[in-house]
Amino acid sequence: MNELVRVTRVGKSFTLHNQGGVCLPVLGGVSFSVAAGESLVLHGPSGAGKSTLLRLLYGNYKCSEGKIEIFHQDRWVDIVSADPRDVLDVRRHTLSYVSQFLRVIPRVSALDIVKEPLVTRGMAPDMASKRAADMLARLNIPERLWSLAPATFSGGEQQRVNIARSFISVTPVMLLDEPTASLDAQNREVVISLIEEARKSGSALIGIFHDEQVRERASTRRIDIQSFTVAEAA
């Protein structure tokens, strides 16, 4: 199997220094791996640590223990111990995080937001614009909105702009944090097909999906996060 992600005995606890130094253990002993063309769904109730795990994988949260290795270009990089500069390089080329929320940048148009990952990865701007337009159209964002900054868009429109930005340049490893939450049936269908296309093109996907139907269609395997949950009273 062509593994792209290897997680070994990962643990995470939060220490709240300003609330009496209380320590909240969340996860312990998390181990699994994901191969190219696989889609792993993280299964478990709210509060079990699914989002925490996804953020650990992206390097957004700091691991308390363990290793998270991502196959980057031609070598394994441990996100936990790597230099920030190397983590940034992994994120630029190999690892992406798809959330349901768009981080709005003042004054930047929807089209520019969507094309940015392509430009960052070296594509000529007009080519990138064309691809961005196709992607926005596919996600049913009306053309009259493309040149506007999404700050004033509806929640659903912002979410779809974010998905367009995330899927315009598919990376070898993709982390999906409920990308279909609160989308209507038509757009959910589009996102499911984007996920399938990414997987079939050889990406390794790890995701959280609350909708059972989406979960069935978007994943090839599931793990129960509760087996790794560390909590005194969950």
Partner 1 sequence: MSDGLDLFRQSLQAASHPVLDVSGITRLYGERIGCADVNFRLWPGEVLGIVGESGSGKSTLLRCLAGLDQPTAGRVLLDDHGTMVDLHNLSEPQRRAVMRRALGIVHQNPRDGLRMDVSAGGNVGERLMDRGDRHYGKIRTSATEWLRRVEIDPARIDDLPRQFSGGMQQRLQIARVLVSEPRLVFMDEPTGGLDVSVQAKLLDLLRSLVRELNIAAVIVTHDLAVARLLTDRLMVMKDGAVIEQGLTDQVLDDPQHAYTQLLTSAVLS
Binding range to partner 1, per CB under 8 A, among 42-50, 99-107, 184-192, 211-219: 99-107
Residue 140 has φ and ψ, to the nearest 5°, of 60, 35
Q: Which of residues 112-141 bind partner 1 (CB under 8 A)?
A: 118, 120-124, 127
Strands 221-224 and 39-43: parallel
Among 4, 28, 44, 55, binds partner 1 (CB under 8 A): 55
Q: CB of 21: closest distance to partner 1 in angstroms? A: 8
User: Count H helices, E strands: the chain?
Assistant: 7, 9
By CB under 8 A, tell whether 108 contacts partner 1.
yes
In the stretch 10-39, what mask flags binding to partner 1 with x, by CB under 8 A?
----xxxxx---------------------
* H or E, element range at 58: helix 50-58
**Rounded Cα gap, residues 150 and 145, in angstroms:** 8
Among 42, 53, 87, 195, binds partner 1 (CB under 8 A): 87
Which two three-digit tokens encode residue 77?
């990089």
In this complex, which beta carbon is closest to partner 1, that of residue 55 or of residue 199? 55
Please give the span between the terminal C-alpha atoms of the chain, in angstroms, as a whole number. 36
By CB under 8 A, tell whether 60 contacts partner 1.
yes
Q: CB of 17: closest distance to partner 1 in angstroms? A: 3
**Rounded Cα gap, residues 22 and 74, in angstroms:** 41
Residue 13 has φ and ψ, to the nearest 5°, of -135, 155
Note the residues at the interface with partner 1 (CB under 8 A). 14-18, 55, 59-62, 73, 84-85, 87-89, 93, 105-108, 118, 120-124, 127, 169-170
